[in-house]
Amino acid sequence: MSEATIPAAPDAALLCEIEQFLYREARLLDERRFEAWRDLFTDDGVYWMPSQHGQSDPDRVVSVFYDDRSVMASRIQRLRHPDAHIQTPVSHTAHSVTNVELEAPGATAAPLVVHAVFHMAEYRRSAPRWFAGRYRYELERSGGALRIRMKKVMLIDCESALPAMAVYL
């Protein structure tokens, strides 16, 4: 392999900042701090879970989730409602985020494109459920802090019959 094909190493401080941001996001979800999690998104931020591998457009194919901040707020309100049967009892989750990569390492232009692998375990009633896949983030800075412009969740089994999902992956 020639030197030209080896990507430049990312800025270590930037990569560490991104990793800490993603770990914090996972913790907020696990602690059911959904409003604080939603606040990590930009005003025009989107949470997207495609229903097909390679899906590049949420408007041409139905998605599992395609939530802007307004839809997130509605979903979170429903999750908190005492009569929300899909969350009786509430879910307990553990997110694991790994293999964090910054696309175009050292890039300073917005957005920063970040890839990661995830596993999420959910326990609610009887047997735990497991979800796995890849994340693709578009991050940008706002007031010096990282914010999510887009989080794309690509489940490894997105084309199968999925169980009802109430919580965010």
Which is higher by pLDDT, 101 or 3? Answer: 101
pLDDT reported for residue 98:
97
- Residue in 13, 6, 39 with CA at minimum distance from that of residue 108: 13
pLDDT reported for residue 1:
45
Look up residue 27 and give its two tokens. 């913790």
- Beta strands 41-49 and 145-155 are parallel
Which is higher by pLDDT, 137 or 103? Answer: 137
- Beta strands 41-49 and 129-142 are unpaired
pLDDT reported for residue 148:
98
Which of these ranges, 4-18, 73-87, 91-105, 138-152, has the smallest mean pLDDT?
4-18
Distances (CA, A) of 167 to 45, 57, 93, 123: 18, 23, 9, 11
The arithmetic mean of pLDDT across residues 141-161, rounded, is: 92
Residue 133 belongs to a domain with what CATH number? 3.10.450.50
Q: Domain for residue 137, yes or no?
A: yes
Asked if residue 18 has pLDDT above 70, the reply is yes
Q: Check if the beta carbon of residue 58 is closer than 8 Å to that of residue 50.
A: yes
Asked if residue 95 has pLDDT above 90, the reply is yes
Q: Domain for residue 90, yes or no?
A: yes
- Share of residues in the chain with pLDDT > 70 (%): 88
How many domains in the chain?
A: 1
Q: Which domain holds residue 146?
A: 3-155
Q: Domain for residue 166, yes or no?
A: no
